[in-house]
Amino acid sequence: MNKTVQSTFTFGIFLVIIGIIGKFFKWSQAEILLGLGIVFELLATLIFIWNKIKSNN
């Protein structure tokens, strides 16, 4: 796993955790943070899959 995938995945996890904490405290931006976290997780997954496909060719 390269550094781009690792940092994107870590940032996504961070945003999801902050979003969950925000939902607990009823912050108005909690859903936005949760959504951004999920988007970063999907981006990290797509980059990881792309790198695996590219290295197999």
Alpha-carbon gap, residue 37 to 47, rounded angstroms: 15
**49/41 Cα distance (integer angstroms):** 12
pLDDT for the residue numbered 4: 81
- Say what the pLDDT of residue 5 is: 86
pTM for the complete prediction? Answer: 0.84
Helix H or strand E segment including 22 = helix 3-24
Q: Answer whether 19's CB lies under 8 Å from 37's CB.
A: yes
The model's pLDDT over 1-57, given as tens digits with 9 standing for 90+, comes to 678 888 889 999 999 999 999 999 999 999 999 999 999 999 999 999 998 998 887
